[in-house]
Amino acid sequence: MKKTLLSITLFCFALISSAQSWVSQATGFTNPARDIQGIQIVDANTVWALAGDGSGVGTNVQEFTRTLDGGATWIPGTINLGDNTLKIGNLCAISATTAWVSAFDNTNGLGGVWKTTDGGQTWVAQNTTAFTTAGSSWCDGVHFFDENNGLAYGDPVGSNFEIYTTSDGGATWTAVPAGTTTNPNALTNEWGYAGSFAYAGNSFWFTTSKGKIYRTTDMGLHWTKLNSPLSDFGGGVTTTNFGTLYFSDNNTGMILGTKDTASTFKIYTTTNGGTNWATGVVYSGFLNLCYIPNTTTLISTSDSTTLGTGSAYSMDNGATWTPIDADIAHGVPAFLNPTTGWCGGINQSATTDGIFKFNGNLANQMFEKTDGFKVYPNPAHQFVTISSKEVDSFQLTVTDITGKVLLNNSFTGVENSIDTSNFMDGIYFFTMRSDSKTQTIKIVKN
């Protein structure tokens, strides 16, 4: 038996075995060319999707669609706010019957939050004394962490962003007061962007025109202002800077954005909730992203005629990508878990197309659960052993949580031991490639 000993820094692993694909479902909209602006997955059966105009005309759309049977049937509806000129910023759903939307007037910014408790048949305005300062009160988003606790935020009125919290489902709202630890002062010419936020657990982040990130870890009661690698997240002040924020959990996240030129995209990663960001890595993939919650698995999609269409997934926080399909237009994705997800499409009619349901399994499985490899121990303290009765040579790529490549080397022999004593505690990713398989695994070093 040939053995190899290598002193490097540690790794983490996972495996994908089955093919991945998408199944087209009909969203039910009578008008054709309705695309999907956002998807809210409550559970494997209950999903809401916010509609938009996919024709290119720019028609203002106040519509949604909803499924209660995992997408077998979708029921469209109208978001009746009493003013058909209001722009819908986002939709947040927490059950089959209950959801909220943020909305604003595109001229003066006036708007607010509306709630439905009957599956979208009626919508009732909440917190009607908020977001009432013309020219300033642009309601940028609403989010609920559960049926009772939520927040809504908008552009600065005076020196601070207009932020409210509720603990009773929106029956009453409390303004977050100005303060260094509660609601830090905004900069000159600083504002938010509608729908430009991320959330995970009890944490919520929103982005600004000055490249800043506001973060709360207690459902909106206290906020911290963080720096980012970008000067602007929406091009409103710095025209070459655009960015989208994504988080998988309270700590693991990324920015996909342009910094120096509008055509060069980079991925910036964080492992501490956005306090620090790794150096950007050039990215040339699809531009609609989402995390599978509490993993480092990403899904990317595109419906762009200039950047190409298709979809892909990454098991190592964006370091490497595997195609799902090509030359098929896909809109924004959202996933509940490794087997449950949807992405947007464009409907042809009430009975044809509009949204795609994921068909596959992106779950990480430990190598020791497969016939090909055994990896042990996990968690590891010093040595990790990789053994196989079926594979006697493979290419190994090791990345850390930020996607930085630490090792790219060939190995032979049925057993290899890795010395991980020089690695800091944390998570690392192994991608093994042989003639017969490609597997990525996550191991914890402690």
What domains can be seen in the chain, in order of their start residue? 21-363 (2.130.10.10), 366-445 (2.60.40.3080)
Reported as a single tens digit per residue, the pLDDT across 306-337 is: 778 999 999 889 988 999 999 999 999 999 99
Residue 100 is predicted with a pLDDT of: 99
Q: How far apart are the first and last CA of the chain?
A: 29
- The CA dihedral of 156, 249, 246, 281, to the nearest 10 degrees, is 120
Q: How far apart are CA 136 and CA 154, in angstroms?
A: 8
Average the pLDDT over each of 101-110, 132-141, 143-152, 408-417 and give the range with the smallest value: 408-417
Asked if residue 371 has pLDDT above 50, the reply is: no
> What is the pTM for the complete model shown?
0.80
The pLDDT confidence band at residue 3, using thresholds 50, 70 and 90, is very low
- Residue 142's pLDDT is 99
pLDDT digits (tens, 9 = 90+) for 138-173: 999 999 999 999 999 999 999 999 999 999 999 999
Listed residue (181, 179, 186) closest to 138, CA to CA? 186
Q: What is the pLDDT of residue 132?
A: 96
pLDDT at 264: 87
Short-list 329, 397, 317, 330, CA closest to 364: 317
User: Across residues 27-36, what is the average pLDDT?
Assistant: 98
Query: In the prediction, which pLDDT does 206 show?
Result: 99
Calculate mean pLDDT across residues 46-63: 97
CA 346 to chain centre: 21
Residue 239 near residue 263 (C-beta atoms within 8 A): no
Given a cut of 80, is residue 440 above it in pLDDT?
Answer: no
Q: Predicted confidence band at 91 (pLDDT cuts at 50, 70, 90)?
A: very high
Task: Tell me the pLDDT of the chain averaged across its residues.
Answer: 88
CA distance 12 to 440: 8
Asked whether residue 125 carries a pLDDT value surpassing 50, the answer given is yes
The predicted pLDDT at position 370 comes to: 42
pLDDT tens string 194-230? 999 999 999 999 999 999 999 999 999 999 999 999 9
Q: Does the structure show a pLDDT above 60 at 11?
A: no
**3-state helix/strand/coil string of 303-347:** EECCCEEEEEEECCCCCCCEEEEECCCCCCEEEEECCEEEEECEC
Q: Mean pLDDT across the stretch 423-428? A: 75
Q: What's phi and psi for 152, nearest 5 deg?
A: -140, 145
Question: How many Cα atoms occupy the beta-carbon half-sphere of 306 within 13 Å?
Answer: 2
Q: In the beta sheet, which residues pair with residue 302? A: 310
User: Mean pLDDT, to the nearest integer, of 353-377?
Assistant: 72
Q: Which of 98, 77, 99, 79 is nearest to 88 (CA)?
A: 79
Confidence of residue 372 (pLDDT cuts 50, 70, 90): low
What percent of the chain is modeled with pLDDT above 90? Answer: 71
Please determine, for residue 392, whether its predicted confidence score (pLDDT) is greater than 50: yes
Instruction: Say which residue, 364 or 412, is predicted with more confidence.
Output: 412
428 pLDDT exceeds 80?
A: no
pLDDT of 230-271, one tens digit each? 999 999 998 889 999 999 999 999 999 998 766 789 999 999
